[in-house]
């Protein structure tokens, strides 16, 4: 399944001749967002550097501790190519689990904001149904989740809360690199509401 998604990604867009491509032969892909289609590509300036908050390498732990490769048993950790393939798949919801202030500062095109503090209240948006004993998630959607980066605990916390509430772990995918890795790679960032 993973290889088919990546193969579809390879066929998704044109390649810049000698540009900064996403992968060999893939210069860009287009994803649907509530505001219309957005093209994801990498910044073409080979002198570009990450600055500001995203260039910071050290944050105090706690709260900003390096996260494990997998936040919970049964959850699959993914990279950028898998996330881009998920962004193009209407059967998958890509969730930015950061708080609204972080989300409004820029997000991955096509991601919806569901703050980690609200996840167990919003499982109905992901195909679960509320019953007398909590959530019934037999029809849960596939969901790919991210937050700020390798040191951010917001999406791992959301994932653990979802599983505790009954969400099937095998339907959750964790983009561990988050916004910091996305930005380090020079991939397109959108400003919600902007």
Active centre residues (catalytic): 147
**CA–CA separation, 63 and 57 (whole Å):** 14
What is the distance in angstroms between the CA of the first residue and the CA of the last residue of the chain? 35
Determine how β-strand 112-113 pairs with β-strand 28-33. unpaired
- List of E strands, 34-153: 36-41, 76-78, 92-96, 112-113, 129-131, 134-136, 142-146
Instruction: Provide the token pair at 151.
Output: 């040191």
**CA–CA separation, 28 and 88 (whole Å):** 12
The answer to whether the CB of 13 falls within 8 A of the CB of 30 is yes
Burial of 175 (0-12, 13-18, 19+ CB in 10 A): buried
């Amino acid at each position: 399944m993973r290889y088919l998604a990546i193969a579809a990604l390879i066929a998704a867009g044109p390649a810049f001749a000698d540009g900064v491509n996403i992968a060999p032969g893939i210069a860009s892909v287009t994803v649907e967002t509530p505001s219309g289609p957005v093209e994801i590509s990498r910044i073409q300036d080979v002198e570009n550097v990450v600055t500001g908050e995203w260039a910071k390498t050290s944050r105090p732990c706690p709260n900003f501790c390096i996260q494990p490769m997998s936040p919970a048993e049964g959850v699959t950790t993914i990279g950028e190519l898998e996330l881009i393939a998920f962004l193009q798949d209407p059967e998958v919801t890509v969730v930015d689990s950061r708080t609204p202030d972080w989300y409004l500062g820029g997000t991955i095109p096509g991601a919806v904001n569901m703050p980690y503090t609200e996840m167990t209240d919003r499982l109905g948006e992901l195909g679960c149904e509320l019953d007398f004993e909590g959530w019934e998630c037999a029809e849960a959607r596939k969901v790919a989740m991210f937050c700020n980066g390798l040191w951010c605990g917001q999406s791992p916390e959301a994932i653990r809360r979802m599983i505790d509430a009954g969400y099937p772990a095998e339907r959750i995918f964790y983009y561990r690199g988050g916004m910091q890795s996305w930005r380090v790679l020079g991939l397109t960032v959108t400003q919600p509401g902007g």
